[in-house]
Structure formats: C-alpha cells, structure tokens
C-alpha cells in the first residue's frame, strides 16, 4: 500500500508534536479569580470548591505570592462584604472589601495585574445584579451604580474593570465615567456573553450571592442562543469594550468561536466554578485523571479562540506548562 500523505509523520515524538502544534498557550493569558472577605486571619476553604479559599486581606498576600511564583501575574477580585443592602453600597464604598484588597495587593505586589469584577450581586441584600423596581431589576437605574463601582475600584488600584451584570448599556456608562474622571487608559473587559447557567452554583456558595427570589434569566442569556451572543458582543464592542468575555467556557466553545469570527477584539472565557467542581469531584472519585482533564479543557478553550483564560486552575495550568504537558 503506497500513501504519500501520512498525517502520522508529524506525531512521531514529543519535540515534533510541539513544533507543529496549532494551539499555543502562555502563562500571561491566565487570570486567577480570588475571593476576599472582611475580617482577619481568614483562609477559609469553600465547601463546594475544594482547594479554593476565601481570604481576608491580611492572608491574601500569601496566596498572591504563590500565584506570582507560578508565573500567574493577573488576578480578578470578588468581594464578600459583612453588610449588604438594597443598593449594594458596599460595592462602591471607599473602604469596601474589594477596594481594600486592591490597595493591599498593589502595595505588596506593584506589578500584579489587578482586575475588578463590577457587579452588585455579592453586595445586595436581595442577591440580584442591579437596583430593583418591585421584583424586577431596573436596567437603566442600575447603570449609574455600576459606573460608580467601576470608578471606585480603579481609584483603589484596579488596572482593569470587568462588568458582569449583563445590563444593557453598562459598558458605555462605565467608559464615560472612567473617561470623565481621568481614567481613559483603563481597559474594560466586558462579560459580553454571559449565560444564565447552572454552572455558577458553587460560585454563589463561595460569594454568598444567590438571589433571594426568582432567577437572573431576565438579564443573563438563554443558553439556547448563539446569534444573540454575537449581538451582545458587538453591542459591547461598539460601546467601548476592550476585551469581550464568554461565560461559561466548557459548554460554550461554539459561542467562543462565533464571537471570535466577528470581532478583532481579544476574547476571554471564564472557566467557572461548576466546571472546577465537576473536575475535582470526578478526580476525587477516581473517575478521571485530574491533570489530564485540566489540560484538555483548557486547550479546548484556546483552540476555540480564547486569548485570555480565567480559571481556578490557573496555578496548576502554569505548572503543567512548565512540565510541557500543555502550552
């Protein structure tokens, strides 16, 4: 049997496989999501996310140092306040928990790239992502609050802000607020395509952000839709977003690819808490090899078109890159 074209020739040996690899990954594209809470001396494991912790600001630097040693230089902070109210005032307070985290992180690690999640759900007594009118989230009334949150985070030291609320028009509101206050160079990474997903369950436990009533389907997207994802992405791009995010990652690789096709902006994807919990649970039961699954799911996101990857496995992935297992 004579065959001129043999694809297997390029699979013969690890050096050759790496040489012809189509999808390449780098530690600089990794972002680690971190939970910070009020108090001191706290390093509290999250029951639904084994291996992940809530940190008080005084304990947070130890975890940040470990990340930096691994080569992960970017962190997104999520605040867990002691006090919540109907307007989420802790989200934009000068002495709010996430503002404290930014100041401490920048003081201890000036080169760490710090990103603020701009939303209200962790800070509102009702757990929704905006201001309520009855039991309905009032889109337009919420915009000024989101802009105020973003400004407070940047003033506290955030290098980038990432609105995750899914209100229409929030990118423009935030861009205007930042520009008017002298922060025209601060980029916005918009959660442009955020689905109403069951994969968020462990996060809501971690951050205490489950809605007190109803759900978020009136503002987060229906997971049946992909053309709507393109519309949302292009609207945010038109409002001044610098980076577009798709969330979650694992079940939305087709969406990542579609959004990648229609824009020249960098694309981020968030490998969310449910994805993390599933991998950890499967590995704990001995059903899957944890390291192999982490590497394969990450490579799948990058192969689909991701430029930036938010993941609770950031430190592990950085280590696997050093080992040559992925990258």
Q: Which residues are catalytic?
A: 194, 247
d(CA 326, CA 26): 9
**Closest listed residue to residue 75, CA positions, set 42, 117, 107:** 117
* 249's tokens: 């990652």
Q: Per-residue b/e over 25-58, b at no fewer than 16 CB within 10 Å?
A: bebebbbbbbbbbbbeebebebebbeebbbbbbe
Tokens 């990058």 label which residue? 302
**Closest listed residue to residue 163, CA positions, set 138, 146, 181, 175:** 146
State the CB neighbour count (10 A cutoff) for residue 212.
10
d(CA 291, CA 146): 38
* 100's tokens: 């404290």
Does the CA dihedral 313-316-322-327 come out positive or negative? negative
d(CA 64, CA 5): 49
State the CB neighbour count (10 A cutoff) for residue 297.
20
Q: At what angle do helices 290-304 and 273-284 cross, to 10 degrees?
A: 150
d(CA 163, CA 186): 13
d(CA 83, CA 100): 15
d(CA 215, CA 220): 9
């Amino acid at each position: 049997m004579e065959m001129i074209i043999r694809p297997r020739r390029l699979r013969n040996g690890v050096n050759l496989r790496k040489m012809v690899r189509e999808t390449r990954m780098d530690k600089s594209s990794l972002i680690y999501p971190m939970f910070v809470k009020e108090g001191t001396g706290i390093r509290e494991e999250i029951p639904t996310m084994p291996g992940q912790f809530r940190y008080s600001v005084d304990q947070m630097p130890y975890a940040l140092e470990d990340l930096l040693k691994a080569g992960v230089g970017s962190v997104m902070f999520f605040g867990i306040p002691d006090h919540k109210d109907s307007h989420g005032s802790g989200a934009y307070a000068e002495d709010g928990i996430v503002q404290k985290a930014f100041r401490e992180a920048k003081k201890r690690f000036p080169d760490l790239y710090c990103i603020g999640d701009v939303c209200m759900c962790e800070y509102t007594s009702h757990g929704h992502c905006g201001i309520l009118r009855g039991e309905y989230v009032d889109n337009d009334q919420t915009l000024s609050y989101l802009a105020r949150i973003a400004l407070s985070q940047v003033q506290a030291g955030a290098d980038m802000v990432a609105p995750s609320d899914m209100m229409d028009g929030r990118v423009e509101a935030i861009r205007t607020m930042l520009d008017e206050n002298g922060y025209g160079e601060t980029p916005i990474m918009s959660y442009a395509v955020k689905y109403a997903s069951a994969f968020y369950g462990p996060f809501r436990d971690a951050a205490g952000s489950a809605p007190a009533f109803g759900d978020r389907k009136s503002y987060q997207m229906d997971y049946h839709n992909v053309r709507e994802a393109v519309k949302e992405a292009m609207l945010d791009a038109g409002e001044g977003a610098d980076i577009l995010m798709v969330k979650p990652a694992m079940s939305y690789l087709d969406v990542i690819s579609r959004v990648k096709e229609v824009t020249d902006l960098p694309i981020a994807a968030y490998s969310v808490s449910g994805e993390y919990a599933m991998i950890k649970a499967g590995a704990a039961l001995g059903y899957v090899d944890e390291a192999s699954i982490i590497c394969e799911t990450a490579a799948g996101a990058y192969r689909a078109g991701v430029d930036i990857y938010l993941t609770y496995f950031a430190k592990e992935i950085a280590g696997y890159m050093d080992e040559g297992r992925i990258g």
